[in-house]
Each structure stands twice: as C-alpha cells, then as structure tokens.
Structure 1
Amino acid sequence: MENMNHDHMHGMNNQSSGGMMHRHRMMMHMTFFWGKNAEILFSGWPGTRTGMYVLALIVVFLLAFMVEWISHSQLIKPGSTRHVAAGLVQTLLHALRVGLAYLVMLAIMSFNGGVFLAAVAGHALGFLLFGSRVFKKSSAPVPGKTSDLPPMSC
C-alpha cells in the first residue's frame, strides 16, 4: 500500500494491458516550454491533439479578456437608490472576476509559452477595448468612478 501511494504522489500511473503493468510518468514543467503537449486546468486536457491545444489557448484568451471586461464594466447605474441590490451585483461581479482571474493564473502555471502569450493577449485586448481611452465616448463620466468594481490588487 505504501508503494502505491508513493507512486501516486510522484505522478505514476499503473495501467494493465494484457497482464503486463506499464508505468507512465507525468512530466510537470517548472520552467517555460513551447509545444502543444501540455496540461491546462484539467487532467489530460488538451492532450496531444493540435486542435484541442488551440481550443485551450482560445479559452485562456477569453478568460483573460472577460477579466478585463468585468474589471472595467459599469453595469450598476450611477445614483442607484437600491443599495442592497447594487451591493449584491457588485459582490457577484467581484466573485466572478476573482474566479476567472484565478483560472487564468492556474492556466499560466502550466508554464506553457503559448498559454502565457494567450493570457497576456486576452488581458491586453480587453484593456484596449474596455479600459483605455481609445474607444471611450466623449460623454462626461461620474467624477472618480471608472467602473463598478475597485481595481484589482495583488
């Protein structure tokens, strides 16, 4: 029993095939690497298929993009008299933003260079569209208010 737990802790998988035991060691990278053979967020995903790796990069990009959208959104109308409702919406948005940001962070911890670039690109495009002055309307905003949520801090 002790050997099985020891093997499990080191990422060893025993698979029986025709009465023979095969051991496969999962490689966990601790430095950045390039390539499509990575595990991102879930065990065995995206696997070794190029299409699934591209899908994983798109998912990471969209997660990072959504973090920026939520960070710079103004879904609560200024001067809202429903403080409890506004507070609940604000709390929900905060929880969603933090959850998505953690998913992006965990994806980056795969140490895959493509995943890192997809996350940075998602944050950059999201900020360009929602946080920068490039696409801002010329209407006068409420003084001191830039979004429904306070800025993220580490």
Structure 2
Amino acid sequence: MNTMPMPGDRPLMDSGNMMDMHMSFYWGKSVLILFQNWPNGSLGMYILALLFVFVLATAVEILSVSPIIKQGRNSPLIGGLSHAFVYGIRMGLAYMVMLSVMSYNLGIFVVAVVGHSFGSFVVKFRAISAQNRGADDGVTPKV
C-alpha cells in the first residue's frame, strides 16, 4: 500500500500560512481582508479596514446613480463609454466589498451593511432635495 503523499496533495487548512478560514460569523480583530497580512491583528489596522469597507460600500451606492448625459452635447459613443466606465468601477468596488464580507467577520459585515445604507441615504437625500428645489422654482427636474 502506497502511503506517500502526492506532490499536489496538501491539507485544506494550513495554519502556518494564515489559510484558516472561518465558516461562520465571528467577532474579533484577527481577520484577513482583501490583502495578505492586512489588517494583521492590529486594532488600529482593523479600525482602518472597517473604515475602508465602509467607504467602499458607500461609494458603490453613490456610483449607482448614472451621470446625466445631455442630449445633443455628447455623442452616443461618449455617453455609452462614460456609463460603462462608471459601471466597471462600481462593480469592481462591489466585488471588493463582497470579498471583504466573505471573511465572515461580523464587524466587517455590519460596516458593509451600514455603508450601503448610508450611501443609499445620500443618493435619496440628494434626489429628494433636487426635487424639492425644482418644486420651489416651478420646474420639476428629472431624477
């Protein structure tokens, strides 16, 4: 019977290389988010990581509003390219938030949800404010 390990065989969890992954939510600053050795168990770096995820999630929601393209000023090619560019950035940021949440750290999860909620609030607040300004002027803007 051959009991020697094959060259490609290795354990799924390698505790020597920070490959241990949680499969359920947990609290704590010992987490690996997006980049190798980040935030590295430091409380200050963990708080910075929380802020980073919050900003990413907020940016995803703010970028969900398409830029207004005025007819006659821009060609359809330029308008389509600008929308595609903003959409590509938004999707990249959204995937980074998703990968951060996949760390199963409850702090990261809560901050991502709060960031998305705050970004949605900012977008809706601006739309309602513009609508109210238009009602005051007698002109209703398209939101």
TM-score by length of 1: 0.75
The residue number in structure 2 matching 1:149 is none
In structure 1, the residue matched to 2:67 is 75
CA–CA distance in structure 2, aligned partners of residues 4 and 55 of structure 1: 40
Q: Deviations over 1:23-78 (max 9, x none)?
A: x6642101000010000111211111100000000000000000011002x43333
Which residue of structure 2 aligns with residue 36 of structure 1? 29
Cα distance between partner residues in 2 of 1:121 and 1:141: 29
Distance 1:64 1:11 in 2: 31
Correspondence for 2:77: 84
Matched positions, count: 132
Indicate if the aligned counterparts of 1:128 and 1:134 stay in contact, CA closer than 8 A: no
Gaps of 5+ in 1: 14-23, 147-154
**Contact 1:129-1:135 within 8 A present in 2 as well:** no
Q: Answer yes or no: is the 8 Å Cα contact 2:26–2:106 preserved in 1.
A: yes
Q: How many percent identity over aligned positions?
A: 38
Q: Distance in 2 between matches of 1:42 and 1:25?
A: 12
Q: Does the C-alpha gap of structure 1 residues 85 and 133 become closer, same or farther in structure 2, counting only changes over 3 Å?
A: closer
- Alpha-carbon shift at residue 9 of structure 1 (Å): 4.6
Structure 2: segments with no counterpart, 5+ residues: 135-139
Higher strand share: 1
Who is 1:99 aligned against? 92
Higher helix share: 2
| Deviations 1:121-151 (CA, angstroms, capped at 9, x unpaired) | 1111111011357852222232xxx4xxxxx
**How far did 1:83 drift?**
1.1
